């Protein structure tokens, strides 16, 4: 038999080459059997088969064995890494500088990056370390290969390796070779990763590097509504995740004076927005995505809550839009009191949109007394409808207007108002008709910040200082699709530094997610990040000046985030010294911390997402890159030590849909540590979020998990979240929406009985 090589030549099959290639990749992986993969690959050989087909068969074979032995994921990643090297070298590319030169020749790389690399090619080439590819799990490297590496426009083969990709991003985001190499070291160590738009676009012809865009509600005019459609399309085209309020738009039945007709309300406008979001698919890299916010007093709120229903008039459904409630404290108080709630047409009470706190409550009560309400209903009835929407669709997120404004650094001046959050509910910035809020994101991999069985706070501080400078630099490099985004970003210079891998840290320290020790550690991590972020931003202000809006912030008046929460930090002396420095120099950035969802970049980094508990010890993930089995490698290591990682136990975990709670032989201590999100009390997740919230000046993408949601349970949960002072919550995850059908447990290559995460609608924040 003969095989076809990548260059088109045919040669006789050499089975020993297949075996040797797999054995080389398995070096140091003590728990894998390279011959098992080799034999399966050899079994797929046929006359005329391409070497690429055989490589892919080896990779898939190794990946399919992950559920039985996690180390096969490392083997699959190494095999894929070898394929990438062959692909890149097939284009005559052997170094980073050659990759950049080819990318520029093909029209993919911009002049600025090319010139920077040409000036320092040897330094950058020498700094690359191909051995760091061994840190990738298969799922992570496959994601990088399929979706992030630059590709030849005609051949569609990649023109850069993963390490060249990291160096490209680092050089594009740096001001000097030393800074670039320092940043490359952080990226390639998987200590930290920027969000997807930065990874997609840094160094390219269109450097739209920002993750999130928040558009104020269109003014109640035809021209402004259509202008906002155009704005959304431009932002979505370059990988932005969109948040938009619709609270200013008049409700159904409102008089249209120019035609003497009646408005059809917000639903037809949102139907048009829904179609636009679906049409602009972000260059084919992923679906467009947007979230619409509506205040709870808007007269169309009940129709708004029906937009994601799976039944009813399709002309009044928006299956591509996400929905979020922008909830004032007064509504929650009336729910608690069992009082009535009034709904208004914003054309009658235009002032309510720009008011919060006591000023909102006074204006709201005046409007009620004036008799201009369109409808009154029991507050608990509307709240129950909101809970049903959450339970049935996961949508209709609860975000709290007063908490968001009360603790927003930008909102010290009452003229500056937070009107909404973003697509993933972690960004809180002021907006207006003249300013479209923007945020640039990145996340620290906490799993890479442990040393000798302890969390390494010194390393965490060093990482924060490096990456805050990178995030600030994005503001100046960024391509702004519309002028209102440039205006806002230059005035406020906000960034959003987040985290991922909290669950990994707790597993490695053997702490249950809901333990007091976990709560204390989570809070200390948040305080450390906030301190070093502020300190670095103060350094930047001393070097380059404070951001232009600094005088309108709470920080300018000596108040930091924990002051706005009325909480005391753990180390007050260092905070007082920092406040004195801020008073002297100001801050370069108005906002610094936001915990975004990190499904994609956490996969690249090989850690659990953001601040979330795991959803299952064994599960299948469905992504645009394919389906991937994943197993909890920490649990596997524990069971191996006990001699319990045997077929019978693996089958029992599959049968338990990734839970170990009913596996009798597993010790109770492990059952406590390795509970899934469905088995944890959600009060613990809320308490963790509230405790760290005093050190998060934006917000957190906080998913909550209930296996079988009921209105009663959800009502209590979100009431508790509001009382704890949370600014926002994100998806409600329910188990029926995340299960897949059982298959036999005898075939490890098949999808096991496990949980599948709800598909994310956007990766802009990830």
Q: Which two tokens stand for residue 90?
A: 């097939």
Q: What is 49-109 written as a DSSP string?
A: -BHHHHHHHHHHHHHHTTTT-THHHHHHHHHHHHHHHHHHHTTT--SHHHHHHHHHHTT-B
CA-CA-CA-CA torsion sign (110, 115, 116, 122): positive
Q: Which two tokens stand for residue 497?
A: 């530094």
Q: Which two tokens stand for residue 631?
A: 């197993």
Evaluate whether 690 touches 519 at the Cβ level (below 8 Å).
no
Please list the residues that pair with 543 across neighbouring strands: none
Q: What are phi and psi of 208, to 5 degrees?
A: -90, 100
In a 3-state reduction of DSSP, which class is residue 344?
strand
Reference 360, options 313, 406, 314; nearest CA is 406
**Calculated CA dihedral for residues 321, 325, 326, 328, nearest 10 degrees:** 170
Evaluate whether 251 touches 300 at the Cβ level (below 8 Å).
yes
Alpha helices (H) in 300-378, listed in sequence order: 301-304, 329-337, 357-369
- Of these residues, 422, 445, 589, 632, which one is catalytic? 422
SS3 of 723-741 = HCCCCECCCEEEHHHHECC
Q: Which two tokens stand for residue 659?
A: 């839970």
* Count of residues in the chain: 766
Give 397's DSSP letter. Answer: E
Instruction: Tell me if residue 648 is catalytic.
Output: no
Q: Distance (Å, rounded) from C-alpha 753 to C-alpha 535? A: 48
Give 500's DSSP letter. Answer: E
Burial of residue 609 (CB within 10 Å: 0-12, 13-18, 19+) is: buried
Q: Distance (Å, rounded) from C-alpha 165 to C-alpha 194? A: 13
Which helix H or strand E contains 325, and what residues bound it? strand 321-327
| Distance set, CA 732 to CA 302, 387, 498, 705, 758 (Å) | 19, 10, 21, 6, 10
Q: Distance (Å, rounded) from C-alpha 264 to C-alpha 313? A: 15
Evaluate whether 439 touches 495 at the Cβ level (below 8 Å).
yes
Give 134's DSSP letter. Answer: G
Evaluate whether 702 touches 399 at the Cβ level (below 8 Å).
no
Q: Distance (Å, rounded) from C-alpha 229 to C-alpha 667? A: 57
| Distance set, CA 284 to CA 152, 682, 731 (Å) | 16, 37, 25
Instruction: Tell me if residue 610 is catalytic.
Output: no
Reference 51, options 14, 78, 77, 81; nearest CA is 14
Instruction: Tell me if residue 281 is catalytic.
Output: no
Give 761's DSSP letter. Answer: S
- Of these residues, 87, 306, 426, 435, which one is catalytic? 426
Other beta carbons within 10 Å of 204: 19
Active site residues: 422, 424, 426
């Amino acid at each position: 038999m003969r095989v076809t090589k990548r260059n088109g030549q045919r040669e006789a099959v050499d089975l020993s080459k297949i075996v040797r290639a797999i054995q080389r990749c398995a070096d140091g992986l003590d728990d894998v059997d390279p011959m098992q993969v080799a034999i399966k690959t050899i079994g797929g050989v046929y006359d005329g088969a391409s070497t690429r087909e055989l490589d892919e068969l080896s990779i898939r074979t190794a990946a399919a064995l992950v559920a039985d032995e996690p180390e096969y994921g490392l083997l699959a990643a190494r095999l894929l890494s070898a394929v990438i090297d062959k692909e890149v070298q097939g284009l005559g590319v052997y170094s980073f500088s050659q990759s950049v030169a080819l990318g520029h020749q093909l029209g993919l790389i911009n002049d600025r990056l090319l010139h920077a690399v040409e000036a320092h090619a040897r330094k950058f080439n020498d700094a690359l370390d191909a051995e760091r590819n061994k840190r990738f799990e298969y799922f992570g490297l496959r994601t990088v290969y399929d979706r992030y590496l630059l590709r030849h426009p005609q051949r569609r083969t990649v023109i850069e390796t993963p390490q060249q990709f990291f160096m490209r991003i680092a050089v594009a985001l740096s001001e000097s070779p030393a800074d670039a190499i320092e940043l490359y070291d952080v990226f390639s160590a998987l200590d930290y990763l920027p969000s997807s738009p930065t990874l997609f676009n840094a160094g390219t012809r269109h450097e739209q590097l920002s993750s999130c865009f928040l558009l104020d509600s269109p003014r109640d005019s035809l021209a402004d509504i259509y202008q906002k459609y155009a704005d959304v399309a431009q932002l979505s085209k370059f990988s932005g995740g969109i948040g938009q309020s619709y609270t200013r738009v008049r409700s159904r039945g409102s008089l249209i004076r120019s035609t003497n007709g009646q408005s059809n309300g917000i639903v037809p406008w949102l139907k048009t927005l829904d179609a636009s979001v679906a049409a602009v698919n972000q260059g084919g890299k992923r679906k467009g995505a947007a979230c619409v916010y509506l205040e709870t007093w808007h007269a169309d709120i009940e129709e708004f809550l029906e937009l994601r229903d799976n039944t009813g008039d399709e002309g009044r459904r928006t299956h591509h839009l996400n929905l979020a409630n922008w909830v004032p404290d007064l509504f929650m108080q009336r729910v608690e009191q069992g009082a009535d709630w009034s709904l208004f047409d914003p054309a009658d009470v235009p002032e309510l949109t720009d008011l919060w706190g006591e000023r909102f409550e006074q204006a709201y009560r005046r409007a009620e007394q004036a008799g201009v309400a369109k409808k009154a209903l029991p507050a608990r009835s509307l709240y129950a409808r909101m809970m049903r929407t959450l339970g049935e669709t996961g949508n209709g997120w609860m975000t709290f207007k007063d908490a968001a404004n009360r603790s927003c650094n930008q909102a010290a001046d009452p003229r500056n108002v937070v009107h909404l959050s973003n697509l993933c509910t972690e960004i809180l910035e002021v907006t207006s008709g003249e300013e479209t809020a923007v945020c640039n994101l990145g996340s620290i991999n906490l799993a890479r910040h442990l040393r000798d069985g302890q969390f390494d706070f010194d390393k965490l501080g060093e990482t924060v200082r490096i990456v805050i400078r990178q995030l600030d630099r994005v503001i100046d490099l960024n391509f702004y699709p519309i002028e209102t985004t440039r205006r806002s970003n230059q005035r406020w210079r906000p960034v959003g530094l987040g985290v991922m891998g909290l669950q990994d840290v707790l597993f490695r320290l053997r702490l249950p997610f809901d333990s007091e020790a976990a709560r204390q550690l989570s809070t200390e991590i948040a305080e450390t990040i906030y301190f070093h972020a502020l300190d670095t931003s103060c350094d930047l202000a001393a070097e380059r000046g404070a951001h232009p809006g600094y005088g309108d912030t709470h920080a300018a008046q000596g108040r930091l985030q924990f002051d706005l929460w009325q909480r005391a930090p753990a180390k007050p002396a260092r905070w007082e010294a920092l406040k004195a420095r801020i008073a002297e120099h100001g801050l370069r950035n108005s906002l610094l911390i936001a915990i975004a969802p990190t499904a994609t970049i956490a996969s690249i980094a090989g850690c659990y997402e953001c601040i979330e508990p795991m959803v299952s010890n064994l599960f299948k993930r469905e992504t645009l890159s394919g389906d991937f089995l994943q197993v909890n490698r920490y649990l596997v290591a524990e069971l191996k030590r006990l001699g319990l990682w045997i077929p019978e136990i693996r089958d029992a975990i599959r049968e338990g849909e990734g839970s170990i709670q009913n596996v009798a032989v597993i010790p109770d201590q492990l059952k406590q540590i390795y509970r899934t999100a469905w088995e944890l009390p959600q009060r613990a997740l809320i308490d963790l979020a509230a405790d760290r919230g005093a050190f998060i000046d934006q917000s957190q993408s906080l998913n909550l998990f209930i296996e079988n949601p009921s209105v009663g349970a959800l009502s209590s949960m979100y009431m508790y979240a509001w009382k704890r002072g949370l600014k926002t919550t994100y998806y409600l995850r329910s188990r029926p929406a995340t299960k897949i059908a059982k298959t036999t447990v005898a075939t490890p290559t098949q999808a096991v009985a496990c949980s599948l995460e709800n598909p994310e609608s956007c990766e802009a924040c990830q």
